[in-house]
Amino acid sequence: MVLTFFELNKITDDVLENWLKKLPKFRQDEVLKYRFRDDRVRSLCAYLLLCVGLGRIVEKFSYNEHGKPSLVDEQLYINLSHAKSAVVAGFSETAIGVDVEFIRKIYPKIVCKRVFTPLEIEQIENAKDPTGTFFKFWTLKESFVKCIGQGLSFPLKTVEFRLTKEKIDCSDNRFQFSTFTQNGHQIGICATDQHIVKNLSFEEFSKLVTTVSQGGACTAPTSTNH
C-alpha cells in the first residue's frame, strides 16, 4: 500500500506545534533541525503518514549504511518521500521505494547527462511533453534507488528505463514500477508487486493522526490502483 497526502498548505502553526508533540524525541529533533517551516512540515507529515499507515506511533528507526530507515519491531518494508506540498509513504512485505517530485514548468536539462542513459535522454527529448516525461523517468529511477536502499552511492546510469504507453520496462527485472501525476506532483513506485494507492484529504489525515496518537489503530480510506 502507498499513502499520499497533498494538503501540506493546510498545516497551520497550531497544527504544526500540536502534531510535533505527538512524535518521538528523535523525529522531533529531525524535524526541528530544518531551518525552514516548509521543510519542517514535510518531515513532520511524512512521519505521521507512516504512523497512520501502520496504525501506531513509530518509536524508532534502524538505518542501513546509506541512511535508508526501516522499522525495528516489525517485518514490514517502508519508504518515505516528500516534495513541495506532498508526502508519500510506502508499505510492503517486500522491498519498496517511493519518490514524489513537484513538476516544474521546465525540466533541468543540465542533470540529464549525469542521471540518464542516452536511450532515456532520447525518450525525454522526443516526447510530446518532455518535462512531464523527465519527471516520470526521474521518479522511477529515484524510486528504484530508494527501493534498493543505496541512495546516491548507486551509479544511476547502470539501470535503464524504457517507457511506452502500455508499460514501463526496466533493465532490472526484479521489480514492478508505476508512475502517476496528481496535484501537480509526479509519484514513482518501485516494488516487487503492484500497490494500491490511497490518498488522504486533510480532514481524513487529521482524524487518523488523532486516533493513532491516542493509541488507536486506524485504516486509511479511499483507494486507487496504479
Q: Which residues bind ligand COA (CB under 6 A)?
A: 43, 46, 66-69, 79-83, 99, 115, 138, 141-142, 145-146, 149, 151-152, 156
Give the containing element (helix H, strand E) for 71: strand 69-71
Which lies closer to ligand COA via its Cβ, residue 36 or residue 215? Answer: 36
H/E run at residue 179: strand 176-182
Rounded to whole angstroms, the Cα distance separating 21 from 80 reads: 20
What is the smallest separation between the CB atom of 128 and ligand COA, expressed in angstroms? 21
Q: How far is the CB of 218 from ligand COA (least distance, A)?
A: 21
Burial class from Cβ neighbours inside 10 Å (0-12, 13-18, 19+) for residue 206 reads middle
Task: Find the shortest distance in angstroms from Cβ 66 to ligand COA.
Answer: 4
Closest approach, Cβ 6 to ligand COA, in A, equals 14
Q: Give the nearest distance from C-beta 210 to ligand COA in angstroms.
A: 22
Instruction: Please report, for residues 66, 71, 72, 90, 190, the alpha-carbon distance to residue 75 in angstroms, rounded to integers and kept in the order given.
Output: 20, 7, 8, 14, 18
**Nearest residue to ligand COA on Cβ basis:** 151
- Residue closer to ligand COA (CB basis): 145 or 197: 145
Torsion-angle region of 204 (φ positive above 0: left; ψ -120 to 50: alpha; else: beta): alpha
**Paired sense of beta strands 196-200 and 2-5, if any:** parallel
146 versus 185: smaller Cβ distance to ligand COA: 146
Q: Which is nearer to ligand COA, 53 or 149 (CB)?
A: 149
Supply 92's cell numbers. Answer: 510492503
Cβ closer to ligand COA: 110 or 214?
110
